[in-house]
Structure 1
Amino acid sequence: MTAKANERIGFIGLGFMGHGMARNIVEKGYALTFLAHRNRAPAEDMLKRGATEAATARELAERSTIVFLCVTGSRQVEEIVRGKNGLKEGLKKGSVVVDCSTADPTSTTALAAELAPLGIDYADAPLGRTPKEAWEGTLDTMVGASDAVFARLKPVLETWAGRITHIGTTGDGHRMKLLNNFLSLGYAALYSEALALSAKVGIPPRRFDSVIRGSRMDCGFYQTFMRWVLEGDRDAHKFTLANGLKDLTYLESMANNAGVANPLGNAAKNSFLGAVTAGTEEYVPMLPTYVGRINGVDLAPKPKKD
């Protein structure tokens, strides 16, 4: 019997990333059950593709051998696992839970320890890249799991990921993801402040970009980030400022637990905190709008002049 026939996949979280991931799992031959979702459009799409809908996490767990979670963070994951009609009530011995959210590693390792006596494995496989790559099946993922669990998960991960790195044991995937997001969100805070200062001294964003783009300071994240300021593309990077703040808060906790000073991480976190509390538009590339405003410059997108 093939691995696809042996495994029954459960999926919770049909959001920006999860919808594409779940679609690829189904289209590449796995039976999939998903949890009912408040946004009915992804749910209806998955039903048309042959997936099955469950009413509760417990029901989904009873039908599944591997359950993927793609939700906001640790608070949501803990509720899905431990809550009434949660996964823990329905999972069978030999099941695996795979947390693809960006979560607090302390919570991740605690959940793994809680499920281990029940014969249930827990892995973390947070994501890199964007909803576009989720739909194309070319996401990055960094996996924290034992060698045996990783070997079991790999064929399923390959349905939606183009780059799979076995980073270490359970919890290490989330640790590495926080480090990854520290870099990207730190870039976002740095770019935003640089753009505000640039505009303040008389160098508008397009002229700023004409120097940075193609230079050693250029990178893929910069190019995606700048699409809001330069083009007004609100969908360039559909990752919310609130999620960025959450991730930098988790990073702060990880640094505190490790006894490491994290002043740059805290500076980036405060930039995101200011934007979120001010009600700035929701995605990370919109951070310059807020940073510009508090510094008296307008970094809202402008139409390109001929």
Structure 2
Amino acid sequence: MTSTGERIGIVGVGLMGHGIAKNIIEAGYPMTVMGHRNRAPIEDMRQRGAGETDTVTQLAAVSDIVFLCLPGSPQVETVVTQILKDKGAVHTIVDCSTCDPVSTRSLAKACNEVGIAFVDAPLARTPKEAWEGQLDTMVGAGEADFARVEPILKCWAGRIMRVGDVGAGHTVKLLNNFVALGYAALYAEVLAIGARNGVEAATFRGIIDGGRMDCGFFQTFMQYAVDRNRDAHKFTLRNAHKDMRYLTGLASESGIASHMASSVKNSFATAEGIGRGDDYVPMLADIVAELNGITRKEGSDRA
């Protein structure tokens, strides 16, 4: 177990944050977590030796480095604003959420003005890899800030890529998600067209499987679309819509025409708009089918 003087605070001990917190404390870092209504991960961290606070103010008073694993920019902005107001012990904030890079750069500027470093280190892979300490992270940070936090990132990440200065991590994460979510929208529409014309999802999977267009995302998508494994890709349509809103906003702020991104965003906006935001991304296949009058029976597509 490593001995270190850096005290770690974590806000957002959820699906991803729990694994991150577990691996950091196992490496010997003193830790405090902020409590929330889902008590199971909080109690687990307490049993592992973490302290618990009820507020950001209390957390900032006893933490040198604060990790954030939150739903998005509004929640991150609220926490960072409180840390700046409190002027506690914090010297570095590491944001592992998926956020709007425009907001990230603004927060970093405000933090730097009071001597707090801001690092964006969004995540890739799943809660399973978070627990195993094998997440991917794309880091936006200056060289000195990156060097300071890298040993802690290594506690929970198997692949660490510094992709540029502050904001670059969140930018790359959104680009990565755009590719994945673009595939999801494409697959969902392909399956609907196929079903209407007598081609079942299993047949289409068999054509792509093992060929040049195969990929890990295709496999997990089809594990739901064909095999009906609801847990194949546990990322909600609501979160997908949020990420695509950030991506199209970034494109607009950058002066980039975003025809494809806007179309993909609208697929997820529709899903959330009809009340399916808590469904997972591969379930977009069902939604597109239903909107086109196609129903699924016993694992098959029927027009």
Q: What TM bracket, shorter-length normalisation?
A: over 0.9
**Unpaired runs of 5+ in structure 2?**
none
Q: Match of 1:29?
A: 28
| Secondary structure at 1:234 match in 2 | coil
Post-superposition shift, 1:73? 0.6
Q: Match of 1:145?
A: 141
Q: Match of 2:79?
A: 80
Q: How does 1:277-296 map to 2 (within 5 A)?
A: 277-280=273-276, 281-296=278-293
- Maintained 8 Å contact 1:93/1:118: no
* 2:57 pairs with 1:58: yes
Q: Which amino acid aligns with 2:203?
A: R
Q: Which amino acid aligns with 1:294?
A: L
- Maintained 8 Å contact 1:232/1:301: no
Post-superposition shift, 1:11? 0.6
Q: How does 1:1-306 map to 2 (within 5 A)?
A: 4-82=3-81, 86-92=82-88, 95-280=91-276, 281-299=278-296, 302=299
Instruction: Tell me the alpha carbon deviations over residues 78-107 of structure 1, each in whole angstroms, 9 at most, x when there is no partner.
Output: 11122xxx2223444661001111111111
**Matched residue pairs, number?**
299
Instruction: Tell me the alpha carbon deviations over residues 247-271 of structure 1, each in whole angstroms, 9 at most, x when there is no partner.
Output: 1011111111111111111110010
Post-superposition shift, 1:23? 1.1
Distance, in Å, in 1 between the alignment partners of 2:140 and 2:101 is 10
Instruction: Tell me the alpha carbon deviations over residues 124-168 of structure 1, each in whole angstroms, 9 at most, x when there is no partner.
Output: 001111111111111110000110110011111011111100001
Q: 1:50 to 1:262 in 2, by over 3 A?
A: same
Post-superposition shift, 1:51? 1.1
Instruction: Tell me the alpha carbon deviations over residues 32-61 of structure 1, each in whole angstroms, 9 at most, x when there is no partner.
Output: 111011111111111111111111111111
Post-superposition shift, 1:231? 2.2
Question: What TM-score, normalized by structure 1, do the two folds share?
Answer: 0.94
Q: 1:183 to 1:79 in 2, by over 3 A?
A: same
| Secondary structure at 2:213 match in 1 | coil
Distance, in Å, in 2 between the alignment partners of 1:4 and 1:301 is 56
Q: 1:28 to 1:267 in 2, by over 3 A?
A: same
* Percent identity for Structure 1 against Structure 2: 52
Q: 1:93 to 1:44 in 2, by over 3 A?
A: closer
Q: 1:187 to 1:4 in 2, by over 3 A?
A: farther
Q: 1:168 to 1:203 in 2, by over 3 A?
A: same
- Maintained 8 Å contact 1:126/1:174: yes
Distance, in Å, in 2 between the alignment partners of 1:225 and 1:4 is 43
- Structure 1 residue runs of 4+, over 3 Å off? 89-94
- Maintained 8 Å contact 1:145/1:166: yes
Post-superposition shift, 1:28? 2.0
Q: 1:232 to 1:217 in 2, by over 3 A?
A: same
Q: Which amino acid aligns with 1:169?
A: D
- Maintained 8 Å contact 1:16/1:238: no
Q: Which amino acid aligns with 1:105?
A: P
Q: Which amino acid aligns with 2:292?
A: N
Question: What TM-score, normalized by structure 2, do the two folds share?
Answer: 0.94
| Secondary structure at 1:231 match in 2 | coil
Q: 1:299 to 1:66 in 2, by over 3 A?
A: farther
- Maintained 8 Å contact 1:94/1:119: no
Distance, in Å, in 1 between the alignment partners of 2:193 and 2:34 is 46
- Maintained 8 Å contact 2:228/2:299: yes
Distance, in Å, in 1 between the alignment partners of 2:2 and 2:128 is 27
| Secondary structure at 1:7 match in 2 | coil
Distance, in Å, in 2 between the alignment partners of 1:218 and 1:137 is 27
